[in-house]
Amino acid sequence: MPVNFFTSVRPWSRRRRRSRLDSICAVALLFAGTVACGAPSGSTREVVRITGSDTMVNLLQAWAEHYARVRPGVSVQVAGGGSGVGIAGLIDGTLDIAAASREMRPEERRRVISRYGVAPAELTVALDALAVYVHRTNPIGSISITELAEVYAEGGRIDRWRQLGARHWSCRSDEIIRVSRQNNSGTFAYFRQVVLGPDREYRLGSIDQSGSKDVVSLVSNTPCAVGYSGIAFATPGVRTLELATTPQGPAIAPSEATVADGSYPLARRLYLYTAGHPSDAVTAFTRWTVGPQGQTTVRQLRLVPVAASGRLVRWKEGG
């Protein structure tokens, strides 16, 4: 008597017809799928695989489309997931370029060296303002980094809008709903490093979204919420706050100028990383991204080109 509790998990198939016939179909489909996926695609195009930062995924996609017109022989394949996903993939050798909105950590750098024998190469490809978003009905105009830390950090003392001096009528509970990112996100790591400080933890109980866009869309339909995400993701449903370093300091709005001159407190670099000895196609592509065409795309996506900042564009070899 065969044990059949596996089939009993599919109660919606009719009892008479289930069990063996279903298994046959399932197995047949499985094999068919394998064969179809395993078949060679028949193209000889060179492939550049980039994965990583969700903040950068729109930029990478735009670059890939633009580059396909410039160099039809090279196919740039883009995937998001978060800076951590990209760097993990680079270490595991499953991709050519990792896109990251944070610097590689020393431990990750060590892993790359132990696997490839050489340090990863780092390239700054754009600058981004990390904006602090609130609901469009929120009356608050600016916030300081110190206050932000009190909102987000473990042991922080601010959890009501009135503590920030705001009469936020459309938020009935007056509770500050903290929207954050999942913990493999480079944005999550950057915000923690710069706002909370290197040895403070995030307070538990924030709503952790897995995409930059998701943060903004959740804030736009949650009047009580505050969230952080790249400036390129702004929508009409939300407002960005001006940021001051201290409660007494001047509040600065995120813009290309304030990011380029470094006066906006949450201006950050966006990076591409390669490991080992990348192919010519990979090197050519990374060079192109910081060239005039690549940087034009950067500006079209509301990010700040590296040239505008006057900062040197360079490969950081070794480390």
Task: Select the span of 116-124, 179-187, 264-272, 295-303 touching other proteins (CB under 8 A).
Answer: 179-187
Contact map string, positions 58 to 87, toward other proteins, x by CB under 8 A: -----------------------xx-xx--
* Cβ-based nearer residue to other proteins, 88 or 99: 88
66 or 181, CB closer to other proteins? 181
Out of 100, 140, 149, 171, name the contact with other proteins by CB under 8 A: 171
Instruction: Tell me: does residue 94 bind other proteins (CB under 8 A).
Output: no
Q: Does 158 bind other proteins (CB under 8 A)?
A: no
210 binds other proteins (CB under 8 A): yes
SS3 readout for the chain: CCCCCCHHHCCCCCHHHCCHHHHHHHHHHHHHHHHHHHCCCCCCCEEEEEEECCCCHHHHHHHHHHHHHHCCCEEEEEECCCHHHHHHHHHHCCCCEEEECCCCCHHHHHHHHHHHCCCCEEEEEEEEEEEEEEECCCCCCEEEHHHHHHHHECCCCCCEHHHHCCCCCCCCCCECEEEEECCCCHHHHHHHHHHHCCCCCECCCCEEECCHHHHHHHHHCCCCEEEEEEHHHCCCCEEECEEECCCCCCCECCCHHHHHCCCCCCEEEEEEEECCCCCHHHHHHHHHHCCHHHHHHHHHCCCEECHHHCCCCCEECCC
One of 95, 153, 177, 232 touching other proteins (CB under 8 A): 177
Under rule CB under 8 A, residue 46 binds other proteins: no
| CB closer to other proteins, 127 vs 195 | 195
Q: Which is nearer to other proteins, 35 or 312 (CB)?
A: 35
Residues that bind other proteins (CB under 8 A): 2-6, 8-9, 11-12, 15, 20, 23-24, 26-27, 81-82, 84-85, 88, 91-92, 105, 111, 171-173, 175, 177, 182-184, 192, 198-202, 204-210, 218, 221-225
